[in-house]
Amino acid sequence: MSVEIEERLAHLERVVDDLNDVVARQAEEIAVLTRRVAMLMEREAMREADGSGGVVIGNERPPHY
């Protein structure tokens, strides 16, 4: 192999390693965000089931009236 090919191969291997690190971090972040969304959906479902979905202050009517 020529020196130029070896240099290019080394560069490509480094790029692949860097991209692998990025993908691994993104996978972790997606997992965290997925858990947070599930938790928020669960909270909202409980809030809707309890009938406490909105807060009315004083004699204010919700905007859809």
**pLDDT tens digit at each of 65 positions of the chain:** 799 999 999 999 999 999 999 999 999 999 999 999 999 999 999 988 888 655 556 676 666 75
Helix locations, 1-65, DSSP H: 3-50
CA 20/CA 26 separation, integer angstroms: 10
* Identity at 63, one-letter amino acid code: P
Residue 42, domain member (yes or no): yes
CA 53/CA 38 separation, integer angstroms: 18
User: Tokens representing 25?
Assistant: 């971090």
Nearest Cα to Cα of residue 16 among 24, 5, 28: 24
Q: Give pTM, 2 decimals.
A: 0.63
Residue 16, domain member (yes or no): no
Domain range spanning residue 44? 24-49
Residue 35, domain member (yes or no): yes
Residue 36, domain member (yes or no): yes
Say how many domains are in the chain: 1
Are the CB atoms for 54 and 62 separated by under 8 Å? yes
Residue 30, domain member (yes or no): yes
Residue 9, domain member (yes or no): no
